[in-house]
């Protein structure tokens, strides 16, 4: 039997001390324990490295060379260093649902023709208040849709490590390196999605106008490069114009104070049960003990969340049929595509209460 670890989880970080503890706890809260965690510093100056160097677990590697090389270089570095058969990425200011790795790994092993899989997400604010759900609809992998929408939710992506090594990120396309990768590989790769939100994605409602406009400029460069061979010159011009109009709308919206409304439109609103579920799972993650990390004083937002939601609610009696609501691009259909999107409510609440009580985390 091979001693090779099954999954490498890669987190690049830059001045993320405020959030990094949450991200790390969400890794240790995973129901699948056969992982290694690669924490790659990109030149932080805020004490982030000191926080993660306290971690006392042989599955964790922290690398810091003191330089600022950028996200693409660090993502490619993670792929080159990964010892796992599979590679899952996430950002340092986000959190994983405790079942994320288990569910994605199960699907990839059962579907060896699939190269990458992502998941739907809960969007949350800086204080981890659940705001909405995004990505709970089947993937549209047509070339036009890939160019227009970007296809996958980047921080939630998982695939074989060798795929990432064979398809590195291009540092030319800053702030849209993921869309460039999907556009470059969509003609030959197979993608899939788990339609349940297995990820908590921090998203402020004020936005950053400069970053948004820079991203859209990069998107237009991607469209000009990949659009003509994928969808033709005429459709490429339409997509470029659409990007310009989006930039103009965001610019005007920001000037009149409507950027929050534009950002909220990306998400599906949550109902009361989904809000309770999200808070319950987040509280369980924040209560997960991590050797070494517990010596670091919690941030004010962590203290507030623990005070608000430290208890688990009673387990739901809802039936769990054990199915994975996934959709493979290219025509294969999963339950969420055939019967409409299945909302993760009592099922995930019951799993969270059963599987991630603070003393059972590892």
pLDDT, one tens digit per residue, over 99-158 is 999 999 999 999 999 999 999 999 999 999 999 999 999 999 999 999 999 999 999 999
pLDDT for 315 equals 34
Q: Which tens digits make up the pLDDT trace of 38-74?
A: 999 999 999 999 999 989 999 999 999 999 999 999 9
Residue 96 or residue 263, greater confidence: 96
d(CA 298, CA 283): 13
Q: Of the candidates 9, 159, 176, which has an alpha carbon nearest to the alpha carbon of residue 94?
A: 9
Lowest-pLDDT range of 18-32, 163-177, 321-335:
321-335
Confidence of residue 318 (pLDDT cuts 50, 70, 90): very low
SS3 357: coil
pLDDT for 209 equals 86
Handedness of CA 289, 293, 296, 299 (dihedral sign): negative
pLDDT for 295 equals 67
How confident is the model over 255-259, as a mean pLDDT? 86
* Count of other CB atoms within 10 angstroms of residue 1: 3
pLDDT for 329 equals 54
d(CA 270, CA 133): 7
pLDDT for 207 equals 73
266, pLDDT greater than 70: yes
Q: What are phi and psi of 192, to 5 degrees?
A: -145, 170
DSSP state of 154: G
d(CA 202, CA 267): 13
pLDDT for 296 equals 63
pLDDT for 19 equals 96
pLDDT for 123 equals 96
Phi-psi category of residue 256: left, alpha or beta, with phi > 0 → left and psi -120 to 50 → alpha? alpha
349, pLDDT greater than 50: no
């Amino acid at each position: 039997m091979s001693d090779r670890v099954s999954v490498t989880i890669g987190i690049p970080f830059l001045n993320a001390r405020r959030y990094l503890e949450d991200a790390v706890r969400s890794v240790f809260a995973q129901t699948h324990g056969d992982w290694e965690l690669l924490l790659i510093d990109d030149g932080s100056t805020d004490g982030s490295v000191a926080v993660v160097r306290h971690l006392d677990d042989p599955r964790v590697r922290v690398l810091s060379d003191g330089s600022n090389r950028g996200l693409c270089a660090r993502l490619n570095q993670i792929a080159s260093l990964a010892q796992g058969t599979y590679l899952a990425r996430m950002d340092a200011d986000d959190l994983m649902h405790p079942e994320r790795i288990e569910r994605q790994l199960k699907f990839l092993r059962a579907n060896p023709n699939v190269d990458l899989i992502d998941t739907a997400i809960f969007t949350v604010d800086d204080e981890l208040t659940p705001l909405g759900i995004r990505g709970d609809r089947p993937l549209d992998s047509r070339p036009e849709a890939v160019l227009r929408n970007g296809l996958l939710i980047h921080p939630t992506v998982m695939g074989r490590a060798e795929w990432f090594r064979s398809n590195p990120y291009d540092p030319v396309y800053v702030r849209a390196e993921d869309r460039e990768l999907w556009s470059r590989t969509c003609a030959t790769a197979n993608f899939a999605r788990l339609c349940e939100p297995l990820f908590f994605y921090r998203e402020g409602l004020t936005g950053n106008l400069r970053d948004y406009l820079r991203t859209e400029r990069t998107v237009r460069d991607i469209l000009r490069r990949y659009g003509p061979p994928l969808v033709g010159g005429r459709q490429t011009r339409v997509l470029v114009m659409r990007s310009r109009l989006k930039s103009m709308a965001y610019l005007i919206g920001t000037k009149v104070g409507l950027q929050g409304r534009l950002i909220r439109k990306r998400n599906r609103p949550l109902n009361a049960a989904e809000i309770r579920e999200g808070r319950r799972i987040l509280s369980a993650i924040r209560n997960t003990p991590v050797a070494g990390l517990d010596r670091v004083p919690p941030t004010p937002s962590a203290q507030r969340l623990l005070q608000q939601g430290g208890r688990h609610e009673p387990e739901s009696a809802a039936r769990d049929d054990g199915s994975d609501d996934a959709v493979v691009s290219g025509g294969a259909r999963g339950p969420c595509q055939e019967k409409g999107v299945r909302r993760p409510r009592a099922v995930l609440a019951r799993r969270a209460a059963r599987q991630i009580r603070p003393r059972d985390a590892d």
